[in-house]
Amino acid sequence: MSPLNNKEAFDLAEVMRIMHSKSGTHFDPHLLNIFNGIAESLYAEIGHAGEERLTGLLNGLIRRYFSGPSPYLP
C-alpha cells in the first residue's frame, strides 16, 4: 500500500496503460515512447526502494547536475 493514501499502488503494466491512454493529451507521444524504453529498468531499480536508497539516488543526481553549493545537501 502507498503510505500516502492507503491505496494499493498500480503495477507497472497498469501505469503504462494509463499513460499511453493519455498520450497526445497529457503526455508527449515522442517522450512517452522514449520513457517506455526505460520504464521497466527504472521500475526494477527504484520501484520498491526504501527512502534511504531513494534519497541517496536523488542526492547523487542533484550533485551531478547542480554543481554549486546547495543548502539541502550535507
**Rg of the Cα trace of the chain?**
16
pLDDT of 1 higher than 60: no
71 occurs within a structural domain: no
Task: Provide the sign of the torsion angle of the four alpha carbons 36, 34, 53, 55, taken in this order.
Answer: negative
70 occurs within a structural domain: no
Q: What per-residue confidence (pLDDT) applies to 31?
A: 97
35 occurs within a structural domain: yes
Question: In whole angstroms, what is the distance from residue 69 CA to residue 73 CA?
Answer: 8
72 occurs within a structural domain: no
Question: In whole angstroms, what is the distance from residue 18 CA to residue 16 CA?
Answer: 5
3-state SS, one letter per residue, for 55-72? HHHHHHHHHHHCCCCCCC
**pTM given for the model:** 0.66
33 occurs within a structural domain: yes
Q: How many domains does the structure of the chain reveal? A: 1
pLDDT tens, residue by residue, 5-26: 678 888 999 999 999 999 999 9
Q: What per-residue confidence (pLDDT) applies to 26?
A: 97
Domain extent at residue 21:
12-65
74 occurs within a structural domain: no
